[in-house]
Structure 1
Amino acid sequence: MNMKKMILAFLLIYSLQLFAQKGTIKIIHHGTKTNLRGLSICKDAIWVSGSKGKIAKSMDGGKSWQWHLVKGFERADLRDIQAFDKNTAIVMAIDSPAYILKTTDGGKNWKTVYQNNTSGMFLDAMDFSNHRNGIVVGDPIHGKIFLATTKNEGETWKFINPNISANIQKGEAFFAASGSNIVLLKTNNFHLISGGIKSRYFTKNKVCILPMMQGKETTGANAIAVYKNNIAITGGDFMEPNRNDSCFCFSNNNGNNWQRPTIAPNGYRSDVIFINKNTLICCGLTGVDISKDGGNTWENISHQSFNTCRYSKKLNAVFFIGQNGVIGKLLL
């Protein structure tokens, strides 16, 4: 009987520990001297990238991490990363000259697949619709949006003219806060958002002003997420991170109409993701929020600062990254 009681007590404690972990963000790594902004989850690995040329990879759901310093790019700010598998990934080094690098050996070695020496060049984000087709956006050059695409898994990149009728305004740009301001669709159309003096939404055939705070170079949209015809956009003012008067908007009809939430996220947010049609999560300097009604009302679940979040369907978990090499995990 005593042994049975001990076993039951152990199972009860274990179950309570599991319950406590679910719905709570657990910090699974911190202390590395890098500001992490790039996060990508593929079928067999989680990759992160950040300042000072740092890359890390986990192949066990975030329990352990392999860290790499990209040779020749020790001072580079690696703002976005796209992972294809545990061996293959593409990373973006943002400023002049701007580079896109690729590894095929798990991060040990990287080759340059794109370089741009144009004065003022600053890459902001990239996205892939599948393993082969990708797009990268950079800050405007001479008032024109910079876009380049790849059709061969990032081996080569080609500048494209998006034929968008509206020029970028002075003081309008694309924030490189989380690698999330552009989404590439399987149709090769894209969703793109700007911030600053103006905050706008762009596709190949549509341009509109967003109902987001704007007017200063620190304001506007930072991240966009798309789930079928549902679009979520988050941002704010990173110099006033507690302001939440117009830091989020959403559309349920593919960007034809936009709404502000009834209850907004708890301040500036640099990233947003869909878990499903109704459930969204966003993160930023002042914490993490969740919506369970498609973005109309938000609840704060953490005051921990993060830059970027991504969802793993396989692990049924959301991963977060931020300053000082912090990595968090939320079990759903």
Structure 2
Amino acid sequence: MSSFFTRAIALIISTGIFTTSFSQELAVEVIASGVKSSLRGLSVVNDNVIWVSGSGGTVGKSSNGGKTWKWITVPGFEKTEFRDIEAFDAKVAIVLGIGEPAYILKTNDGGETWKVVYENRQKGMFLDAMDFATPRHGIVVGDPINGKAFIARTSNSGNTWEEMSAAENRVALDSGEAFFAASGSNVKLFENGQFYLVSGGLKSRLTSPRGTTPLDLLQGTESTGANAIDIFDGGVPIKPGKRMVIVGGDFAADSSTKKNCLYSTDGGKTWKTPLIPPHGYRSGVEFISEKDILACGLNGVDYSEDGGKTWKLISKEGFHVVKIARVGRSIFFAGNKGRIAKISLVLEEPISQQQ
């Protein structure tokens, strides 16, 4: 979760308790489409600045809340799949090119020029996702090389990346187990250095500071397993919170609801299966408050208002990824054929405020 939202609950801020409520139901509004690219990277800086990335070396940016978009094909990377993007403002963004070879590029001028800040031509190299805990500290993960997940980190805003050494890297994967580059959402990094990874394929597991935990999700084939994880941090991303959610399923059977979601209320010590699961395979998931969650996939968007226990379908529009503004109230989705959608959380005036 990249920002802190409330839905008819108390929002705790430094000056006291600030109670708000929604003035409208959640509605997914498609605001852009037609670009040929399949968009899987999405970064929402605030209510105005949004970046997306996808196939064909495509990067898109809006500076007015999605009303208009500037589309870029990065020169020299016309055939590269940009599966994830992290943006810090209207000028600075980092984009991930999956492989072979694998690249990480950075722009400091709003996408006018791009610099290769990491390159790896190793056979089998395939980068899946990245996450930043702060504007300086980030992590990138990739499919296993010699039985271990590829992991690299940055401490200087992505200007350079350092690969985790074999001695330090304890993330071992089994044969046929890997990560999905579906939405840039299978890794979460926190300021204290903790990170969480979810895998799929022949096995689906959670790797965390506690070790590796088998997940009771659909698995056993190349198209099954966990795709995304989100952790509610209360808007203070120093360390993970108690509430967590993982989604996935089978992208080859996108309407199947079999073992496609798990949620935890105790920091991942135990995991529960929803009473009513999301309505199909889901590749992206985001908390919008402590108990409100959105999940998206090829056949639609689901919403849970009870922490993942039950889900209802709110849109049949398919998307790969969903992200919330780091600062603001907007939620954006991105998917195939340049499809971008938005939910605006229109809040009423506060009904009470305690100093």
Structure 1 length-normalised TM: 0.92
1:294-313 equivalence runs, <5 A: 294-312=307-325
Counterpart for residue 185 of structure 2: 180
Indicate the RMSD between aligned Cα atoms, in angstroms. Answer: 1.6
The structure having more radius of gyration, on CA atoms, is 1
Give the aligned partner of residue 290 of structure 2.
Answer: 277
Show the counterpart of 1:72. Answer: 76
Selected match of 1:245 from 258, 274, 279: 258
Letter in 1 for 2:39: L
1:286–1:303 CA contact under 8 A, matched in 2: yes
1:219 corresponds to: 224
The answer to whether structure 1 residue 197 and structure 2 residue 210 are counterparts is: no
**1:26, CA displacement in angstroms?**
1.1
How do 1:14-25 and structure 2 match up within 5 A? Answer: 23-25=26-28
Q: Deviations over 1:209-265 (max 9, x none)?
A: 011111111100000001122110000000011111200001111111111101000
Specify the alignment match of 1:119 in structure 2.
Answer: 123
Return closer, same or farther for 1:272/1:323 CA change in 2, 3 Å cut-off: same
**Which AA in structure 1 matches 2:249?**
G
Q: Distance in 2 between matches of 1:20 and 1:260?
A: 31
Partner SS, residue 262 of structure 1: coil
Deviations 1:99-136 (A, max 9, x none): 00000000011000000010000000000000000000
Q: Equivalent residue of 2:163, what SS?
A: strand
1:154 maps to amino acid: G
The answer to whether the Cα contact below 8 Å between 1:22 and 1:331 also exists between their aligned partners in 2 is: no
- AA at the equivalent of 1:57: K
For residues 48 and 140 of structure 1, what CA distance do their matches in structure 2 show?
26
- What is the identity, as a one-letter code, of the residue corresponding to 1:287? G
Q: Distance in 2 between matches of 1:131 and 1:96?
A: 27
Contact 1:21–1:331 (CA under 8 A) maintained in structure 2: no
The count of corresponding residues between Structure 1 and Structure 2 is: 314
Structure 2 CA distance for aligned equivalents of residues 161 and 261 of structure 1: 38
TM-score using structure 2 length: 0.86
Tell me the equivalent position of 1:210: 215
Correspondence 1:63-142 to 2 at 5 A: 63-142=67-146
CA contact (8 A) 2:186 2:229 kept: yes
Query: Paired residue for 2:35?
Result: 32
Contact 1:275 1:281 in 2 (8 A): yes
Q: Return 5+ residue gaps in structure 1 as ranges.
A: 1-18
* Aligned AA (2:173): I
Q: Distance in 1 between matches of 2:177 and 2:206?
A: 12
Alpha-carbon distance between aligned partners in 2 of 1:60 and 1:70, rounded to the nearest angstrom: 22
Which residue of structure 1 lines up, in the alignment, with residue 333 of structure 2? 320
Aligned to 1:7: none
**TM superposition shift of 1:316:** 1.9
**TM-fit CA distance, 1:68:** 1.0
| Higher helix proportion | 1
2:45 — aligned with what? 42
Q: Relative to structure 2, which stretch is displaced further, 285-294 or 164-173?
A: 164-173
Q: Is the 8 A contact 1:137 1:182 kept in 2?
A: yes
The answer to whether the Cα contact below 8 Å between 1:56 and 1:65 also exists between their aligned partners in 2 is yes
Counterpart Cα distance in 1 of 2:157 and 2:242: 27
Answer yes or no: is 1:261 the counterpart of 2:264.
no
Partner of 1:14 in structure 2?
none
1:165 Cα shift? 4.8
Identity of aligned residues (%): 48
Structure 2: segments with no counterpart, 5+ residues = 1-21, 233-240, 346-355
How many angstroms does 1:300 deviate by? 0.3
Alpha-carbon separation, structure 2, partners of 1:314 and 1:158 = 29
Equivalent pair of 1:53/1:77 in contact (CA under 8 Å): yes
Q: Matches of 2:146 and 2:99 in 1, distance apart?
A: 16
Q: CA-to-partner distance for each residue in 1:22-46, whole Å, 9 max, x for gaps?
A: 5221111000110000000114510
Q: Is the 8 A contact 1:265 1:289 kept in 2?
A: yes
Greater relative contact order, per chain length (Cα 8 Å cut-off, separation 6+)? 2
Alignment partner of 1:201: what SS?
strand
